[in-house]
Amino acid sequence: MRLQIIGDPVLHSKSPVIQGAMLAALGLDVEYTPHVVRRGELPQYLTWARENGITGFNATMPHKEDLIPLLDETDPAARAMGAVNTVCLRDGKWVGFNTDGAGAVAALKDGLGLDPAGLTVTLLGAGGAAKAAAPALSQAGAERVFVCNRTLGRAEALCAQDPLGRLSPAGFDPGTLRRMAERSQLLVNCTNLGMAGCPHQFEDFSFLDALPDGAAVFDVIYHPARTQLLAQAEGRGLRTLNGLPMLVSQAVLALEHFLNRPLDRKAMAAVAAGALGEAAL
């Protein structure tokens, strides 16, 4: 068994640390390594992976959406989200899954003690991470999720896929973000703005001023651990959470797919969190 994580950039990924620790705790001698795959190179990678004994891989930006038409099968949740982050070779077929959505909800509950049920949420972005997080928040009982994106059509397409009707599209201009934020108890950043290696940053953080007292800001980015968005939110007295707890939660679920068997999720999460702590020393 050989496992990888692919993306661009990807060499900063904590997934090898997390997955390596969990595999070792299970007594499995399995290689899990990062592999740079640039946009447009997925078909060549899938051929190479099959020829070189790769039995599964995680995918990060920019591949979560682009993988869908290249796989032999996708599970219903991943198909509904239009994005995958976990791919397994089963009976000679590439099968895709998405563990990001469940990982995001688990992170909110474990990291902030925040249950999405009944909340109004402003969610930034409509790409792969948003396609996982938005429907997961809806399914977890969020009253309303405003999906804010520069290209409104992409937000509308994402919201149209929600059978519960709890997702609403919105723009990304400062005025719209402020109007959505003032109605929300939670703001979730699913864009790559502020990510290490990304040349772009939020141009204006004034929308954070509109969030009510006690609101929380969840940035799914984990590198850097404290993005400018989180720093700005903390400076305004808001509760914050970065993407590391989500990374841990989705990694445990991904490992279940790789091994094709259930695991003790709490025990594995503890192992992963411990490995991250040691890696930071």
Q: Which residues are catalytic?
A: 64
Distance between terminal CA atoms of the chain? 30
Q: Is the dihedral of CA 186, 217, 222, 198 positive or negative?
A: positive
The pair phi, psi for residue 217, each rounded to 5°, is -125, 125
Cα→Cα distances 145→141, 170, 187, Å: 10, 10, 10
* Residues 45, 248, 273: CA angle, nearest 5 degrees: 125
225-235 CB burial, b ≥16 within 10 A, e <16: eebebbebbee
Separation between Cα atoms, residue 218 and residue 242, nearest integer Å? 6
Separation between Cα atoms, residue 64 and residue 1, nearest integer Å? 22
Owner of token pair 């060499």? 11
Q: Is 79 helix (H, G, I), strand (E, B) or coil?
A: helix
